[in-house]
Amino acid sequence: MGRRRLFVPGAILAMTFCLCFAADEATAASREIGGYVAQAEDRFQRNVWNFIKNFQSWQSIGGHQWKYDQYYWMEPWVFEGSHTSYVDNQDFAYVACHGGPWVMACHDGIGDVDLRNAPAYGDLPNSGDMEFLVVESCDTITAYPEGTFDWNGWRNNGPGGIMGGLHQAMGFWTLSISDNNIPEYFAGQLKGNNVVWQAWFTAVQLERVFPVWRPDDVQAGVAYPGWASAIMPKKCKYDRLGSYTSDPVASDLLYSVWED
């Protein structure tokens, strides 16, 4: 199966809930970032590129160094059958696509990848490496207030669930609008060694304050550019790019964070 790498384009292609605790630092080393682009619209390419371009050279953040290593079109096998060569070969994955509750669309508006049925990401004994997953799409990262939310959908106690070693997954739990400054804001927040999910929420909130697009409601009761959300094992909720906890296990208590 051939890899389909994307090359750099010529054109530039409220409320949160948290508690503090001390994170024990992982071993300092080089870390990789991967970018994965849906093929439906050009804006998805811009979303990913505007994030990973900030890591074209090694960036020292806390005790680690980060650099982008992969930039590929999305295909189901990137997230499923061959995940250990793609998203789960990287420490950080940034995805831009159409989405729905739990699902990502690789090509159009049809959900090709259901995270409830995806393999356990970050599962080191089975060659997984991913710590952080960002999905810039509508609805994919379901949060506690939603009727579609199910803790078991995120677990890997049985045949599904991605939390086999993954530290944090973040995105939106509502409709959202992209092709704006969120990726740039997010990269800047991460380089400042802020907590990863908090860096995502800050980027979304900065775009809300300084909007690229007209800041109408995305839908009834949902402010531009959408409401951010994150899911993580409770032990990982203060992980940063510069220091993060040891890998969680499937039985660890999960924690849902959202804006509204």
- pLDDT single digits (tens) 211-260: 998 888 888 889 999 999 999 999 999 999 999 999 988 778 899 999 98
* Phi and psi at residue 202, to the nearest 5°: -65, -40
Residue 230 placed within a domain: yes
Number of other CB atoms surrounding residue 21 within 10 Å: 9
Residue 2 placed within a domain: no
Which domain does 129 fall in, by range?
30-258
**What does the alpha-carbon distance between residue 131 and residue 190 come to, in Å, rounded to a whole number?**
14
pTM over 0.75: yes
Residue 93 placed within a domain: yes
Residue 192 placed within a domain: yes
How many structural domains is the chain composed of? Answer: 1
- pLDDT single digits (tens) 116-156: 888 889 887 788 899 999 999 999 999 887 777 888 888 86
**What does the alpha-carbon distance between residue 185 and residue 201 come to, in Å, rounded to a whole number?**
10
CATH number, domain containing residue 139:
3.40.50
Residue 58 placed within a domain: yes
Query: For residue 182, what pLDDT is reported?
Result: 98
Q: Is the pLDDT of residue 187 over 50?
A: yes
Strand partners, 34: 70, 93
Written as one letter, the residue type at 240 is R
Cis omega (within 30 of 0) on the bond before 101? no
Q: How many C-alpha atoms does 172 have within 13 Å on its Cβ side? A: 27
Residue 3 placed within a domain: no
Residue 149 placed within a domain: yes
Residue 19 placed within a domain: no
pLDDT over 90 for what percent of the chain?
66
